[in-house]
Protein backbone atom coordinates (compact mmCIF):
# COMPACT_ATOMS: atom_id res chain seq x y z
CA UNK A 1 0.00 0.00 0.00
CA UNK A 2 1.41 3.41 -0.98
CA UNK A 3 1.72 6.18 1.61
CA UNK A 4 -0.54 9.20 1.22
CA UNK A 5 1.21 12.45 0.34
CA UNK A 6 1.18 15.47 2.65
CA UNK A 7 0.15 18.76 1.06
CA UNK A 8 0.62 21.72 3.40
CA UNK A 9 -2.06 24.39 3.20
CA UNK A 10 -0.23 27.68 3.80
CA UNK A 11 -3.30 29.92 4.15
CA UNK A 12 -2.75 30.54 7.86
CA UNK A 13 0.77 31.78 7.24
CA UNK A 14 -0.78 34.34 4.91
CA UNK A 15 -3.28 35.31 7.62
CA UNK A 16 -0.39 36.10 9.97
CA UNK A 17 1.38 38.12 7.28
CA UNK A 18 -1.73 40.11 6.44
CA UNK A 19 -2.36 40.99 10.08
CA UNK A 20 0.59 43.39 10.03
CA UNK A 21 1.09 44.09 6.34
CA UNK A 22 4.48 43.72 4.73
CA UNK A 23 5.89 40.32 3.87
CA UNK A 24 6.58 38.60 7.17
CA UNK A 25 6.30 35.67 7.04
CA UNK A 26 7.37 35.35 3.42
CA UNK A 27 5.01 32.84 1.77
CA UNK A 28 7.47 31.99 -0.97
CA UNK A 29 10.10 31.04 1.60
CA UNK A 30 7.50 29.16 3.67
CA UNK A 31 6.55 27.06 0.64
CA UNK A 32 10.19 26.34 -0.18
CA UNK A 33 10.90 25.39 3.43
CA UNK A 34 7.87 23.08 3.61
CA UNK A 35 9.17 21.22 0.57
CA UNK A 36 12.70 21.11 1.93
CA UNK A 37 11.36 19.63 5.18
CA UNK A 38 9.57 16.86 3.27
CA UNK A 39 6.11 18.08 2.28
CA UNK A 40 5.03 16.60 -1.04
CA UNK A 41 2.66 19.39 -1.97
CA UNK A 42 1.60 22.98 -1.31
CA UNK A 43 -2.06 23.94 -1.10
CA UNK A 44 -3.61 27.41 -1.22
CA UNK A 45 -7.24 28.46 -1.01
CA UNK A 46 -7.72 32.05 -2.24
CA UNK A 47 -11.05 33.63 -1.34
CA UNK A 48 -12.81 36.55 -3.00
CA UNK A 49 -11.91 38.97 -0.17
CA UNK A 50 -8.25 37.76 -0.28
CA UNK A 51 -8.17 37.77 3.52
CA UNK A 52 -5.28 35.33 3.53
CA UNK A 53 -3.92 34.08 0.19
CA UNK A 54 -3.92 36.87 -2.39
CA UNK A 55 -4.21 36.24 -6.10
CA UNK A 56 -0.77 37.79 -6.52
CA UNK A 57 0.63 35.11 -4.18
CA UNK A 58 -0.46 32.42 -6.62
CA UNK A 59 1.77 33.79 -9.36
CA UNK A 60 4.74 34.04 -6.99
CA UNK A 61 4.25 30.53 -5.61
CA UNK A 62 3.89 28.98 -9.04
CA UNK A 63 7.47 30.04 -9.77
CA UNK A 64 8.96 28.20 -6.78
CA UNK A 65 6.79 25.18 -5.92
CA UNK A 66 8.57 22.08 -7.14
CA UNK A 67 6.20 19.46 -5.70
CA UNK A 68 2.45 19.34 -6.33
CA UNK A 69 0.75 22.73 -6.38
CA UNK A 70 -2.94 22.54 -5.43
CA UNK A 71 -5.30 25.51 -5.71
CA UNK A 72 -8.64 25.18 -3.90
CA UNK A 73 -11.70 27.34 -4.30
CA UNK A 74 -15.19 28.00 -5.52
CA UNK A 75 -15.11 28.04 -9.33
CA UNK A 76 -16.19 31.62 -9.92
CA UNK A 77 -15.19 33.19 -13.21
CA UNK A 78 -12.26 34.96 -11.55
CA UNK A 79 -11.10 31.73 -9.88
CA UNK A 80 -11.34 29.74 -13.11
CA UNK A 81 -9.30 32.38 -14.95
CA UNK A 82 -6.66 32.27 -12.20
CA UNK A 83 -6.34 28.49 -12.39
CA UNK A 84 -6.19 28.42 -16.19
CA UNK A 85 -3.47 31.08 -16.13
CA UNK A 86 -1.46 29.40 -13.37
CA UNK A 87 -1.89 25.76 -14.45
CA UNK A 88 -1.28 24.10 -11.07
CA UNK A 89 -0.85 20.36 -10.69
CA UNK A 90 -4.34 20.11 -9.22
CA UNK A 91 -7.41 22.26 -8.72
CA UNK A 92 -9.80 21.33 -5.92
CA UNK A 93 -13.32 22.66 -6.36
CA UNK A 94 -15.03 23.67 -3.12
CA UNK A 95 -18.62 25.02 -2.91
CA UNK A 96 -17.78 27.89 -0.54
CA UNK A 97 -20.02 30.89 -0.08
CA UNK A 98 -18.06 34.14 -0.53
CA UNK A 99 -18.32 34.92 3.20
CA UNK A 100 -17.57 31.39 4.47
CA UNK A 101 -15.16 31.33 7.41
CA UNK A 102 -13.86 27.96 6.23
CA UNK A 103 -15.05 25.11 4.02
CA UNK A 104 -18.13 23.57 5.60
CA UNK A 105 -19.79 21.22 3.10
CA UNK A 106 -19.12 19.14 0.03
CA UNK A 107 -20.72 19.37 -3.40
CA UNK A 108 -24.08 17.90 -4.20
CA UNK A 109 -22.73 16.05 -7.23
CA UNK A 110 -26.19 14.95 -8.31
CA UNK A 111 -27.75 18.41 -8.33
CA UNK A 112 -24.63 20.10 -9.76
CA UNK A 113 -23.57 17.38 -12.18
CA UNK A 114 -23.86 19.41 -15.37
CA UNK A 115 -22.22 22.49 -13.87
CA UNK A 116 -19.28 20.49 -12.54
CA UNK A 117 -18.88 18.69 -15.85
CA UNK A 118 -18.52 22.01 -17.67
CA UNK A 119 -15.99 23.44 -15.23
CA UNK A 120 -13.94 20.25 -15.01
CA UNK A 121 -13.77 20.01 -18.79
CA UNK A 122 -12.13 23.45 -18.93
CA UNK A 123 -9.36 22.21 -16.67
CA UNK A 124 -9.07 18.82 -18.35
CA UNK A 125 -8.34 20.45 -21.69
CA UNK A 126 -5.42 22.29 -20.06
CA UNK A 127 -4.06 19.14 -18.43
CA UNK A 128 -4.92 20.20 -14.88
CA UNK A 129 -5.93 17.39 -12.53
CA UNK A 130 -9.25 18.04 -10.80
CA UNK A 131 -10.57 17.09 -7.40
CA UNK A 132 -13.96 17.98 -5.94
CA UNK A 133 -14.80 18.38 -2.26
CA UNK A 134 -17.47 15.88 -1.17
CA UNK A 135 -19.08 14.66 2.02
CA UNK A 136 -18.56 10.99 2.99
CA UNK A 137 -21.82 9.86 1.39
CA UNK A 138 -21.70 6.86 -0.92
CA UNK A 139 -24.32 8.24 -3.31
CA UNK A 140 -22.34 11.47 -3.69
CA UNK A 141 -19.10 9.60 -4.32
CA UNK A 142 -20.85 7.48 -6.94
CA UNK A 143 -22.29 10.60 -8.58
CA UNK A 144 -18.89 12.29 -8.62
CA UNK A 145 -17.82 9.88 -11.34
CA UNK A 146 -20.30 11.45 -13.74
CA UNK A 147 -18.72 14.88 -13.37
CA UNK A 148 -15.50 13.67 -14.98
CA UNK A 149 -13.35 14.55 -11.97
CA UNK A 150 -10.03 12.77 -11.49
CA UNK A 151 -10.31 12.74 -7.71
CA UNK A 152 -12.52 13.62 -4.79
CA UNK A 153 -11.45 15.15 -1.49
CA UNK A 154 -13.39 13.75 1.46
CA UNK A 155 -14.48 16.48 3.87
CA UNK A 156 -13.19 15.16 7.19
CA UNK A 157 -14.64 17.55 9.77
CA UNK A 158 -17.23 15.06 11.06
CA UNK A 159 -14.50 12.43 11.46
CA UNK A 160 -12.33 14.85 13.43
CA UNK A 161 -15.25 15.87 15.65
CA UNK A 162 -16.24 12.29 16.38
CA UNK A 163 -12.77 10.80 16.74
CA UNK A 164 -12.32 11.31 20.47
CA UNK A 165 -15.80 10.03 21.30
CA UNK A 166 -15.87 6.93 19.08
CA UNK A 167 -13.26 6.70 16.37
CA UNK A 168 -14.66 3.44 14.97
CA UNK A 169 -18.04 5.03 14.39
CA UNK A 170 -16.49 8.26 13.13
CA UNK A 171 -14.41 6.53 10.47
CA UNK A 172 -17.11 4.18 9.18
CA UNK A 173 -18.75 6.46 6.57
CA UNK A 174 -15.30 7.38 5.27
CA UNK A 175 -14.36 3.75 4.75
CA UNK A 176 -17.60 3.21 2.84
CA UNK A 177 -16.97 6.33 0.75
CA UNK A 178 -13.40 5.25 0.02
CA UNK A 179 -14.54 1.82 -1.11
CA UNK A 180 -17.05 3.42 -3.47
CA UNK A 181 -14.36 5.71 -4.87
CA UNK A 182 -12.28 2.63 -5.63
CA UNK A 183 -15.24 1.00 -7.39
CA UNK A 184 -15.75 4.16 -9.46
CA UNK A 185 -12.00 4.43 -10.19
CA UNK A 186 -11.91 7.93 -8.72
CA UNK A 187 -8.76 9.01 -6.85
CA UNK A 188 -9.07 9.84 -3.17
CA UNK A 189 -7.81 12.85 -1.21
CA UNK A 190 -8.92 14.05 2.23
CA UNK A 191 -8.78 17.17 4.33
CA UNK A 192 -10.22 19.42 7.04
CA UNK A 193 -9.38 19.26 10.75
CA UNK A 194 -6.96 16.37 10.38
CA UNK A 195 -4.19 16.67 12.98
CA UNK A 196 -1.46 14.80 14.85
CA UNK A 197 -4.06 13.11 17.05
CA UNK A 198 -6.42 11.70 14.42
CA UNK A 199 -4.35 11.48 11.23
CA UNK A 200 -2.65 8.12 11.71
CA UNK A 201 -5.88 6.24 12.42
CA UNK A 202 -7.53 7.84 9.40
CA UNK A 203 -4.67 7.11 7.02
CA UNK A 204 -4.35 3.48 8.11
CA UNK A 205 -8.09 2.76 7.84
CA UNK A 206 -8.88 4.49 4.53
CA UNK A 207 -7.94 2.38 1.50
CA UNK A 208 -6.18 3.96 -1.48
CA UNK A 209 -5.74 7.37 0.15
CA UNK A 210 -3.55 9.46 -2.16
CA UNK A 211 -3.18 12.81 -0.42
CA UNK A 212 -4.13 14.77 2.68
CA UNK A 213 -4.25 18.55 2.79
CA UNK A 214 -3.56 20.03 6.23
CA UNK A 215 -3.21 23.65 7.21
CA UNK A 216 -4.69 25.07 10.41
CA UNK A 217 -3.63 22.29 12.79
CA UNK A 218 -0.18 22.03 11.22
CA UNK A 219 0.47 25.75 11.60
CA UNK A 220 -0.71 25.65 15.22
CA UNK A 221 1.62 22.72 15.95
CA UNK A 222 4.49 24.58 14.31
CA UNK A 223 4.17 27.31 16.94
CA UNK A 224 5.25 24.76 19.53
CA UNK A 225 7.38 22.29 17.60
CA UNK A 226 8.83 24.39 14.80
CA UNK A 227 7.92 23.96 11.16
CA UNK A 228 10.56 21.33 10.35
CA UNK A 229 9.69 19.11 13.32
CA UNK A 230 5.98 19.50 12.65
CA UNK A 231 6.16 18.42 9.02
CA UNK A 232 8.29 15.42 9.97
CA UNK A 233 5.74 14.52 12.67
CA UNK A 234 2.86 14.64 10.17
CA UNK A 235 4.81 12.58 7.64
CA UNK A 236 5.45 9.98 10.35
CA UNK A 237 1.72 9.78 11.09
CA UNK A 238 1.16 8.88 7.45
CA UNK A 239 3.59 5.96 7.55
Walk along the chain (239 residues) in steps of 10 and give the mean pLDDT of each run.
92 95 96 98 92 93 97 95 97 77 76 97 98 97 98 97 98 98 98 97 97 98 98 97
User: At a CB cut-off of 8 Å and minimum separation 6, what does 120 contact?
Assistant: 93, 130, 132, 147, 148, 149
pTM of structure: 0.95
48-67 per-position pLDDT tens digit: 888 899 999 999 999 999 99
The topology (CATH level 3) of 5-237 is TIM Barrel (3.20.20)
For residue range 25-43, list pLDDT tens digits in order.
999 999 999 999 999 999 9
CA distance 25 to 17: 6
Nearest to residue 107, comparing CAs of 145, 81, 69?
145
Which residues are designated catalytic? 45, 72, 192
Amino acid sequence: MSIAKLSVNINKFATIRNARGGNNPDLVQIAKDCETFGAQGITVHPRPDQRHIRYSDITDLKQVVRTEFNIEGNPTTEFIDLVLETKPTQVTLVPDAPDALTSNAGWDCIKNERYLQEVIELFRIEGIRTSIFVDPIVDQVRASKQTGTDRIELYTESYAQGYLQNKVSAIRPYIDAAKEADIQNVGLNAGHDLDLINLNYFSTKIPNLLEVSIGHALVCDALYLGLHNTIVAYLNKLK
